């Protein structure tokens, strides 16, 4: 008998094409579904945390307005600067200015410069994809002497942060303002113009559009920050920060931000958002994990049954080889080699198909593809090779006990 193992393998795969094809399809399906589900499971965290950004800021920094923000470029390590010792003193409550301060536009200019520094320091400390938007508030009055909250912010940044803001038209230039839907009737606007008074300072503004949120914003008017500071002389008092990630990541970033903050600033998380996000992401992950295990195992067992049945049906091949003098070891390696080569082919095609499925699902559901990482290849291959190995060896143990002569005579 001069047939080598490889020749036998080659002939077996070639002459029993439909059987080999069935086995290959089964193994491909098994590899594809585990690739797709593992990829989705791995990418889920990032995708879901991205979705939770629609809730807006999850950390607030409040600046007490008695002091202007400290310029941090000279005091990179505030823990060891003199300022730090003051930080521990009792925090001043947020003071809401109602009177225009006497200091002129020079002060406003300094404020906006140090605010810019503070914002970039926060973004640097918190990590990539962090959004930080300054807000300033003051209580002024309308033309009919009704008190009204005047807010100042970086409007393009706020638009990006607060996706739920329903705005009829965004301001295009510095003198245009947004008016809350509840505030609009109180403003007695004519020709889209309205006057606001702050202290003894009265100014006319162009109304660009209305803002509607169902929250406190509806009762306010929003000015671009520069126009707000020029009008009121007050600096930003709150920085809204959006840090993507789990509670642990947010708290880590929060600690880093706190180390960089000037002594008159206090950072705290919005607990409702940070905790809720973590809980929901965790539950969704658990659900995906359950589905991953369930589907991968069910399909694997089904494939295992199919493959071992197909090996079991080859008792005649087995008997012929045995009658011709093949050892059990040689038979085992033949069947094993056949199963493993099919399985490898299955992993390759399954990985490709599964990746396509994961990319498509990511694209359809999250608007951005989820790409597979090489790290998921080992578990996918291991599961598939394991299934193929068991499917090849299990029936052989059954056949081993049978006599070749009896097998050759028929069923």
Partner 1 sequence: MFLRLLAESFLRQKRRRLLAGLAILLGATAITTMLALGTSIGDKINRELNSNYGANIIVYPKADTLDIDIAGVNIKPATSGSYLREQDLPKLKEIFWRNNITAISPELPLTVTANNRQLTATGLWFHHTIQSGTDTFTTGAPAVHPWWKLTGTWPNDNATNEAAAGAKLPFHTGDSITIDNVPIHITGTVTTGDDTDTQLLIPLALAQQLNNTPSAVRRVYLSALTKPEDAFARRNPNSLSPKDHDRWYCSPYANSIAFQVDEAIPAAHAEQIRRVAQSEGQILSRISGLMWLVTIASLIAASFAVSSAMATALLERRREIGLMRSLGASQTTIASLVFLETSILALATGTIGWALGSLLAARIAIQIFGSQIPFNAVLLPVVLALSLLVAIAGSIPSVRFALRLDPAATLREDA
Cβ nearer to partner 1, comparing 29 with 122: 29
Give least dist CB 76 to partner 1, A: 29
* Residue 124 C-beta: closest distance to partner 1, Å: 25
Beta carbon of residue 389, minimum distance to partner 1 (angstroms, whole number): 18
Q: Which is nearer to partner 1, 22 or 175 (CB)?
A: 22
Angle at which helices 17-51 and 328-366 cross, to 10°: 40
CB of 51 to partner 1, least distance (A): 5
Helix (H, G, I), strand (E, B) or coil at 258: helix
φ, ψ of residue 176 to 5 degrees: the values are -95, 145
Distance CA 341, CA 172 (A): 65
Cα gap 267→261, rounded to integer Å = 8
Answer for the pair 243, 254: CB distance below 8 angstroms, yes or no: yes
Nearer to partner 1, 76 or 283 (CB): 283
- Say how far apart CA 38 and CA 28 lie, in whole Å: 15
CB of 74 to partner 1, least distance (A): 29
State which H helix or E strand residue 208 sits in. Answer: strand 201-212
- How many whole angstroms separate alpha carbon 111 and alpha carbon 159? 22
Cα(5)–Cα(115) distance, rounded to whole angstroms?
Answer: 76
Question: Which CB, 263 or 269, lies closer to partner 1?
Answer: 269
Report the residue number, 56 or 262, with the smaller CB distance to partner 1.
Answer: 56
Least Å distance between CB 47 and partner 1?
Answer: 8
Nearer to partner 1, 72 or 178 (CB): 178
- CB of 353 closer than 8 Å to CB of 347: no
CB of 276 to partner 1, least distance (A): 3
Q: How far apart are CA 347 and CA 26, in angstroms?
A: 11
Question: Shortest gap between Cβ of 81 and partner 1 (angstroms)?
Answer: 27
Please state, in angstroms and rounded to a whole number, the distance separating the CA atoms of residues 113 and 27: 63
Residues in the chain: 411
Q: Between 59 and 72, name the residue whose CB sits nearer to partner 1.
A: 59
Output the CA–CA distances (angstroms, integers) from residue 347 to 23, 66, 341, 394, in the order listed: 12, 66, 10, 21
Distance CA 220, CA 200 (A): 20
The smaller minimum CB distance to partner 1, of residues 24 and 154, is found at: 24
């Amino acid at each position: 008998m001069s047939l080598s193992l490889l020749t036998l393998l080659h002939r077996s795969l070639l002459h029993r094409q439909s059987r080999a094809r069935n086995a290959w399809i089964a193994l491909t399906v098994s590899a594809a579904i585990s690739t797709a589900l593992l990829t989705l499971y791995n990418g889920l965290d990032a995708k879901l945390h991205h979705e939770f950004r629609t809730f807006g800021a999850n950390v607030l920094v409040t600046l007490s307005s008695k002091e202007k923000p400290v310029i941090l470029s000279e005091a990179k390590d505030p823990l060891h600067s003199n300022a730090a010792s003051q930080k521990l003193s009792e925090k001043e409550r947020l003071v809401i200015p109602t009177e225009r301060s006497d200091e002129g536009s020079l002060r406003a200019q300094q404020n906006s410069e140090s605010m810019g520094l503070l914002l970039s320091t926060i973004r640097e400390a918190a990590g990539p994809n962090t959004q930080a938007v300054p807000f300033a508030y003051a209580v002024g009055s309308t033309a009919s002497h009704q008190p009204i909250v005047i807010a100042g912010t970086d409007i393009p940044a706020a638009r990006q942060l607060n996706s739920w803001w329903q705005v009829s038209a965004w301001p295009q230039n510095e003198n245009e303002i947004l008016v809350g839907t509840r505030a609009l009737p109180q403003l007695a606007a004519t020709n889209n113009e309205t006057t606001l008074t702050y202290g003894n300072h009265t100014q006319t503004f162009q109304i660009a559009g209305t803002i509607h949120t169902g929250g406190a914003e509806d009762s306010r008017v929003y000015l671009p920050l520069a126009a707000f500071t020029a009008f009121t002389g007050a600096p930003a008092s709150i920085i809204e920060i959006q840090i993507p990630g789990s509670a642990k990541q947010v708290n880590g970033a929060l600690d880093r931000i706190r180390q960089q903050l000037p002594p008159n600033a206090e950072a705290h998380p919005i607990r409702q958002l940070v905790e809720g996000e973590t809980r929901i992401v965790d539950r969704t992950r658990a659900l995906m994990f359950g589905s991953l295990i369930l589907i991968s195992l069910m399909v694997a067992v089904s494939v295992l049954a199919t493959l071992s049945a197909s090996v079991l049906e080859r008792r005649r091949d087995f008997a012929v080889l045995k009658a011709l003098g093949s050892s059990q070891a040689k038979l085992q390696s033949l069947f094993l080699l056949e199963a493993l080569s099919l399985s490898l082919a299955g992993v390759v095609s399954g990985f490709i198909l599964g990746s396509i499925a994961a990319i498509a699902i990511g694209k359809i559901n999250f608007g951005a593809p989820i790409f597979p990482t090489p790290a998921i290849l080992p578990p996918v291959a291991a599961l598939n090779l394991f299934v193929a190995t068991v499917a090849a060896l299990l029936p052989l143990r059954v056949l081993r006990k049978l006599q070749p002569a009896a097998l050759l005579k028929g069923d």
